[in-house]
Structure 1
Amino acid sequence: MKIVLSSNPYRDKGLRAALEAKRVLEHAGAKTVMCLPFQPKKGDRLDLPRQLPLSQLDKELATADLLICFGGDGTILHAARDAAFHEVPILGVNMGSVGFMAELERGELPLLAPLAHGMYTIEERMMLDVNVLRGDRLISKDVALNDAVISKGSMARVAEMEVLADRVKVTAITGDGVIIASPTGSTAYSMSAGGPIVEPTSKSIIVTPVCAHQLAARAMVLAPERVVTVQLPRGNRKYLYLSVDGGKAVRLSGGDRVEIGCSQRVTQLVRLADRSFYQIINQKLGGLSQ
């Protein structure tokens, strides 16, 4: 059993949590490899242990059985693309605030020991393929676990766009933008913008307007087989921006379209505890009844 430990050094100071997990897992008989989830920013002085060998995440995932991420939900989202490509299950250890996708908290690391003997279950999460087209030319391609957000950015302008499902117009949105979310992403930005909470193991595509300037604008839940297209008006001189899972924004111009559909890839989340989705909502978000 080869387990890759990937720790966000900005959250896990000195990689202390990752090193503790390493001791627990190796004592239980697993082989572990330490990696950073991303390249640190230039000039940052990180508190990293001396003499600790660190490998490359993309290299180690090719032969890994499991990936453990230490950080917040952003760390898990960052790893989800590569893990899905290599079909490696992910377990998240929350080092942030909410940590909605994390299975364990910082103080629960002894619970990792059963992983060495394959004692865990897998929960599959739907992902979204996100393609940007300019005419017939594909200019950007990505995959999302949470969401794709088309917005006006920081400029104080109103964004205009049409949303289509299988090339049939669903709605026109005037406002700050639109969120196209997976069920996993329904409890992220989409929820904050007034979208529905959807069980994360279900399959659907959620379309949530952001600060729409229309009384009739409502969030919608579409079937997973739909291809959702967000179309920018031709001749529009305003730039909009696409961000996938909170990543680097892609600038969109008039006539561009963003096509979003259910991906063949899935994120596999490792589950150790038998906790209901609604128990997690109550714990992390303060509950639905408050």
Structure 2
Amino acid sequence: MAKSKIVIATNPFRDDEQKFSLNIIKALKDDGHLPVLVTVFDDTNKDNVMFDLEDAAKDASLIISVGGDGTFLHVARRVFSLNIPVLGVNMGTKGFLASLEGNEIEYIRLAAKGEYRISRRMLIDYSIIRSSLIINSATAINDVVIKSDISCIGMSIFSDDAKITHFSGDGVIVATPTGSTAYSMSAGGPLVEPEASNLIVTPICAHAMANTSFVLSPQREIIVLPERLNGRRAFLSVDGQEGISLNQGDRIVINKSEQELLMADMGIRSFYTTVFRKLSH
């Protein structure tokens, strides 16, 4: 069997002293693979040789994220454009994205051999348009959130050229199906199968009857107009990252991305089993 380069991207705040990751490395070496260890959220170079994630991922056949869903998002955001499958190992709490648990190392060994199914996940692109100029744009795995800091603001939301809702509230979440189990769910949004292709629009603490989610076709273009910002602060945040300040008159355009995230699915638990187990505790 040809040796496969496998990147282990570990969160040292979840994987104490990298004990679990080092066990993975030993098992993969025993199986004839070439494991490379990368530490995320920490610049400390201990006794192990560390590599930059993007450099380490070159020519890799699989990337293993060790941590929680936050770790998985951090890793996936940096490598999805490389079209290398990402496998999540949960060392955190909920773990909707990190599908394996820390006691399932045998499945990691199978994944390193290529014994997994590719789960293709839809992504979304956004642009902030200010005075006819794009001032910021990026791609989201889970969601794009437009939100005030503490004040109630207005929101007008369009699907293509049709206004679908207008409300006063804290903001709005535009999520992918993968992100439907994250902030969108906490705000009352629907659960959507993660391999579906939909745009999910969920108001945050909207007044009156406007507190209704919309599940839209991936062909739609969503336009969000934050209103009544004079003297109020509002921000756009992508996948829980630091917010970008918005101004009155800004226009946020959101579309299905041409890129996608490849996830390694071991097929040991269905989406519904995972949701039931995670949400019943």
TM-score tier after normalising by the smaller chain length: over 0.9
Q: Which residue of 1 aligns with 2:175?
A: 181
Q: Which residue of 1 aligns with 2:247?
A: 253
Equivalent positions of 1:271-290 (< 5 A) are: 271-286=265-280
- Do residues 141 (structure 1) and 137 (structure 2) align? yes
Cα displacement string for residues 218-237 of structure 1 (whole angstroms, at most 9, x for unaligned residues): 11101001111111238734
Q: Which amino acid aligns with 1:206?
A: I
CA distance in 1, matches of 2:52, 2:159: 40
- Do residues 227 (structure 1) and 230 (structure 2) align? no
For 1:22, which of 21, 25, 31 is the aligned residue? 25
User: What are structure 1's unaligned runs of at least 5 residues?
Assistant: 41-45
Q: Which residue of 1 aligns with 2:39?
A: 36
Q: Which residue of 2 aligns with 1:84?
A: 80
CA distance in 1, matches of 2:112, 2:140: 29
CA distance in 2, matches of 1:252, 1:189: 20
CA distance in 2, matches of 1:77, 1:220: 24
Cα displacement string for residues 150-199 of structure 1 (whole angstroms, at most 9, x for unaligned residues): 1112x2x1111211111321111211110000001111111111111111
Q: Which residue of 1 aligns with 2:123?
A: 127
CA distance in 1, matches of 2:202, 2:229: 25
Q: Which residue of 2 aligns with 1:207?
A: 201
For 1:4, which of 2, 7, 15 is the aligned residue? 7
CA distance in 1, matches of 2:259, 2:40: 20
SS in 1 for 2:191: coil
Provide closer, same or farther for how the CA distance between residues 249 and 216 of structure 1 changes in structure 2, counting only shifts above 3 A: closer
Equivalent positions of 1:63-82 (< 5 A) are: 63-82=59-78
TM-score when scaled to structure 2? 0.94
Q: Which amino acid aligns with 1:205?
A: L
CA distance in 1, matches of 2:166, 2:69: 31
User: What are structure 2's unaligned runs of at least 5 residues?
Assistant: none
8 Å CA contact 2:117, 2:267 repeated in 1: no
Provide closer, same or farther for how the CA distance between residues 116 and 129 of structure 1 changes in structure 2, counting only shifts above 3 A: same
Q: Which residue of 1 aligns with 2:56?
A: 60
- Do residues 107 (structure 1) and 103 (structure 2) align? yes
CA distance in 1, matches of 2:15, 2:167: 41
SS in 2 for 1:107: coil
Displacement of 1:10 in angstroms is 1.1
Q: Which amino acid aligns with 1:218?
A: T
CA distance in 2, matches of 1:193, 1:115: 35
TM-score when scaled to structure 1? 0.91
CA distance in 1, matches of 2:246, 2:266: 42
Q: Which amino acid aligns with 1:97?
A: T
59-68 vs 203-212, which moves further? 59-68
Displacement of 1:83 in angstroms is 1.8
Q: Which amino acid aligns with 1:74?
A: G
245-254 vs 57-66, which moves further? 57-66
8 Å CA contact 2:124, 2:255 repeated in 1: yes
Provide closer, same or farther for how the CA distance between residues 242 and 216 of structure 1 changes in structure 2, counting only shifts above 3 A: closer
CA distance in 1, matches of 2:208, 2:118: 42
Cα displacement string for residues 128-155 of structure 1 (whole angstroms, at most 9, x for unaligned residues): 11211112211111111111111112x2
Q: Which residue of 2 aligns with 1:195?
A: 189
Runs of 4+ that moved beyond 4 A: none
> How much identity, in percent, do the aligned residues show?
40
8 Å CA contact 2:168, 2:206 repeated in 1: yes
Displacement of 1:61 in angstroms is 1.7
Q: Which amino acid aligns with 1:274?
A: I
How many residue pairs match? The answer is 278
Displacement of 1:238 in angstroms is 2.2
SS in 2 for 1:262: strand
